[in-house]
Chain A
Amino acid sequence: MSAAPTPEAHVELADVCLDFGGRSVLRGTSCRFPRGAISVILGGSGAGKTTILRLIGGLVRPRSGRILVGDVDLCRLREHQLYEIRDKLGMMFQGGALLDSLTVFDNLAFPLREHTDMPDREIAAEVERQLGSVGLADAGGLLPAQLSGGMVKRAALARALVLKPEILLCDEPFSGLDPISVKKIEALLCRINEDLGVTMLVSSHHVRSTLRMADQIVLLVDGAAVTGSPQGLTSSDDPWIREFLDDGPRDARIRESGVDADPERRPIL
């Protein structure tokens, strides 16, 4: 009986070491993120979850190791060359990182105005479509400061998607949200992954959401990465890993659970 073929890695970290202020955060960390899959990076506070996303975005440089996006090693690129790679990436920041002087509409329109030749009418239509898809159809005229936490996350998600990236990096998309909002964001991410085939890397310490939505979990333990499927890791022989993941319910994944993925059908968060 032959082994199942290893899925193609869209993003890969190889022997990555990184220090912050004399503290070693990543110590020879290696992990692969399959194309088209949802990979969730789990770990305790300060384990390096966000750092891995920032490394992949080229916002932080490692001390050593390789970071491959496709077959390009980001560590060999200069800053202006990184901008070409970032065209393939979208990033949803933990705090949204929306430009606070612009309305939500303009935040989404901004990258389109910068990087495309689309006329204003088409840009407006695309922005409205994206806002509608995340349930913010009526929020285009608001400033980021006027949004709730859940709305900020969804606006940030819409902006990250507006240039149709191949890879979506989501930094703590569930932090600070109530359980219903968490499920809505989960459902949105799963729907985007299924509809667009986007490779998703999600950093989180929300174990229940992770077990519901992840195709692959990367668990950061003492600067090293343990990779596996949700089922595989929850039945791991390692007691620390089992304890870490014990918080999650053994319910079905969200894709099969029938959670409402259409935010238009319910009131905005």
Chain B
Amino acid sequence: MTGLIRQLGAWSVGFVEELGRITAFAALILRAVVTPPPRIRPFLAELYNLGVLSLVIICVCGTAVGMVLALQGYNTLVRFGAEESLGAVLGLSLVRELGPVLTALLTTGRAGSATAAEIGAMVRTEQLDGLRMMSIDPVHLVVTPKALAMIAVMPLLSALFIVSGLFGGYAVGVGLKGVDAGSYWTSLESNVTFADDILGSFLKAGVFGVLVGLVSTYRGYTCAPTAVGVSTATTSTVVVSSVAVLIADYFITALWGS
């Protein structure tokens, strides 16, 4: 029994220590943001890597999710004669929850893991130490542009996911099931509000961008300089980011809604 309590205590202390280290790492990134020179070119390159290269997967997944939602929503709504509300159901589900959350999970799998692996490989091959020896701060040059780019692309990708989902839902609802096109868009427009839904959606996506950007860069930066270390950093980036996104989603929803 005492062994279990001791183990629980050690785990708790380790968790708090890790939180402290991530916070200190975030402070390093914040300091690097305001330290000249601004790393515009690496930032733009990361916008391309994390954002543009994620466009296809976001559009495809967004469309597929919208189509499935429309199918399921229609089958339920039609029982109550409320199929004209399909646009509202899709809009509220995608804008409030599915858009930002699924975008964050997809981006974690595609871009977050790649970020952790790339930084981890640089640790393993001593490239970050090489930068330090050239008096170049690797947090400033390598980490900060990646973290900032992740924060910047997440709301945009989320918006794209939502739009793709709405068009996917439109294709199934209007094109396949015969819902009136005007009703679809009208119910969407009248039920989704800017202040409550759109802003909340962008806030979520922004927070998820911070979480995924921070976790992926931290895991890569602190990984053991071995093949296993890089692999572990990549895996844990996906796991920790996904869990953090889902937990943060609950709290943002609870706070924003209240």
CB distance from B199 to the nearest CB of A (A): 38
Which residues of chain B have C-beta atoms less than 8 A from A54's C-beta? 129
Query: Who on chain B is nearest to A114 by CB?
Result: B136
> Would you call A90 an interface residue if the criterion is a C-beta within 8 Å of the partner chain's C-beta atoms?
yes
Give the contacting residue for B130; candidates A82, A83, A98, A115; CB below 8 A. A98
> Would you call B189 an interface residue if the criterion is a C-beta within 8 Å of the partner chain's C-beta atoms?
no
Q: Are A86's CB and B132's CB within 8 A? A: yes
Would you list which residues of chain A between 115 and 170 have a CB under 8 Å from chain B?
Answer: 115, 159-160, 163, 169
CB distance from B125 to the nearest CB of A (A): 6
Residues 56-93 of A, flagged 1 when their CB comes within 8 A of B and 0 if not, give 01110000000000000000000010111011011101
Q: Are A163's CB and B130's CB within 8 A? A: no
Query: Who on chain A is nearest to B118 by CB?
Result: A101
A86 to B132, CA, bound (A): 8
> Would you call A178 an interface residue if the criterion is a C-beta within 8 Å of the partner chain's C-beta atoms?
no
A250 to B254, CA, bound (A): 79
Q: Are B135's CB and A95's CB within 8 A? A: no
CB distance from A185 to the nearest CB of B (A): 18
> Would you call B34 an interface residue if the criterion is a C-beta within 8 Å of the partner chain's C-beta atoms?
no
Instruction: Identify the interface centre among B131, B133, B134: most chain A CB within 10 Å of its CB.
Output: B133
> Would you call B126 an interface residue if the criterion is a C-beta within 8 Å of the partner chain's C-beta atoms?
yes
CB distance from A104 to the nearest CB of B (A): 14
> Would you call B137 an interface residue if the criterion is a C-beta within 8 Å of the partner chain's C-beta atoms?
yes
Residues 106-134 of B, flagged 1 when their CB comes within 8 A of A and 0 if not, give 00000000000000000001110111111
A267 to B133, CA, bound (A): 31
> Would you call A99 an interface residue if the criterion is a C-beta within 8 Å of the partner chain's C-beta atoms?
yes
A18 to B132, CA, bound (A): 21
Instruction: Identify the interface centre among B131, B132, B134, B137: most chain A CB within 10 Å of its CB.
Output: B134
A98 to B134, CA, bound (A): 11
Which residues of chain B have C-beta atoms less than 8 A from A262's C-beta? none
Q: Are B126's CB and A86's CB within 8 A? A: no
Query: Who on chain A is nearest to B35 by CB?
Result: A80
Using CB atoms and an 8 Å cutoff, list the residues of chain A in contact with chain B: 54, 57-59, 80, 82-84, 86-87, 89-91, 93-95, 97-100, 110-111, 114-115, 159-160, 163, 169
A sample of 12 cross-chain residue pairs with beta-carbon separation below 8 angstroms, ordered by A number, consists of A57-B132, A59-B133, A82-B132, A91-B130, A95-B125, A95-B126, A97-B130, A99-B131, A115-B134, A115-B135, A159-B134, A160-B133
* The 9 A-B residue pairs with the shortest CB-CB distance in the complex, in nearest-first order: A97-B130, A97-B126, A91-B133, A83-B135, A111-B134, A86-B135, A93-B126, A59-B129, A87-B135
